[in-house]
Structure 1
Amino acid sequence: MESQALTPDQLKALVRTVPDFPQPGIQFRDITTLIGDGAGLSASVAHLAAMAREAGAQKIAGMEARGFIFGAAVAVQLGVGFVSVRKPGKLPVDVIGIDYDLEYGKDRLEMDPGAVSDGEQVVIVDDLIATGGTALAAVKLLRTAGARVDNALFVIDLPDLGGAERLAAAGVDVAALMDFAGA
């Protein structure tokens, strides 16, 4: 079967669910089984690239680490640049950064402010949206650097955790290849 012929429902079947990880009651959606399947990875990237093209992406941004996998592959398919949004202390140049809340603590994202041009249309691509904290921080960081960020694309949405709504409230259209209801 050609990878582009795999539907989002077929891709969803490639995602492994691990019960009670990282704590009891959580149904962890393990994307490593999807990225370990050549046709599944290729189809996921093709679907995301089509959505990013439709959104007018001039660059793709991805957050460390799984956002690098999908985002860089989408950027290659589109022939556009990739902006890495990094964990602290990973870039050898002066950076801009943002601190944000996580479900279980705090974190920080950083980027090279020269990675985007004023008004450049940047589409965020990541593996999963849950509460939306990391994606929302990336949107704010990219906008601070001058980018227009109107779209964020994900392989998986966990809609019960509200991340897509948080991004929508910030003026970002959200799309995902699949969703998993429940915790």
Structure 2
Amino acid sequence: MNLQDNIRIVEGFPKKGISFKDITTLIRDKDAFKYAVDKIAGYLKDKNIDVVVGPEARGFLFGAPIAYTLGAGFVPVRKQGKLPYDTLSIKYDLEYGSDVLEIHKDAINKGDRVALVDDLLATGGTTSSVVKLIEQAGGEIVTIDFVIELTDLKGREKLKGYDVLSLIKYDI
């Protein structure tokens, strides 16, 4: 299956100059969504993953069903102020601004084998920040997996030394 056929491109969103890769059309298509989840889960099946971490909010869409498929736990990473318990936090830069992400302090046990799953790798700012949170919590990053990678933004360079998988690659 060619997953690119299921991605809608929206020019100028969320601001002028951005070519947004919209995954809502992929997750709407039951076959494409299942295929994407199964491809990543298949890649992870023999890696002894304890928890899958998904950053807000589109990482939830792929991370949770992948965790379920693997029989692993799921840990959300949320924007500041959205988690109800004690958190670790980190400020990070986006392609078009900055934000703060948080994870519960007790969400990951020391030595947990972690798969970080998200919809998109762009500049790598969000992902490298989540990696720092996971490692600060005591987790071991086994692999970082994406549905889409925007190769021209060179986000993979911020993830050197980590196993990185992306199902779809775009040169923007």
TM-score (norm: length of structure 2): 0.95
In structure 2, give the amino acid aligned to 1:81. G
Higher strand share: 2
Instruction: Give the distance between the partners of 2:82 and 2:125, measured in 1 at CA.
Output: 20
Give the number of equivalent residue pairs.
172
Matched, 1:129 2:113: no
Instruction: Give the distance between the partners of 1:130 and 1:48, measured in 2 at CA.
Output: 18
Q: Which residue of 2 aligns with 1:112?
A: 104
Instruction: Give the distance between the partners of 1:167 and 1:66, measured in 2 at CA.
Output: 20
C-alpha change, 1:162 and 1:61, in structure 2 (3 Å) is same
CA drift at 1:64: 0.6
Matched, 1:70 2:62: yes
Alignment of 1:1-183 (within 5 A): 7=1, 10-168=2-160, 171-182=161-172
Q: Which residue of 2 aligns with 1:3?
A: none
Question: 3-state SS of the aligned residue for 1:175?
Answer: strand
Query: Can you give the 5+ residue segments of structure 2 that lack an aligned partner in the other structure?
Result: none
In structure 2, give the amino acid aligned to 1:88. Q
How many percent identity over aligned positions? 47
Query: Can you give the 5+ residue segments of structure 1 that lack an aligned partner in the other structure?
Result: 1-6
Instruction: Give the distance between the partners of 2:16 and 2:94, measured in 1 at CA.
Output: 19
Instruction: Give the distance between the partners of 1:44 and 1:53, measured in 2 at CA.
Output: 14
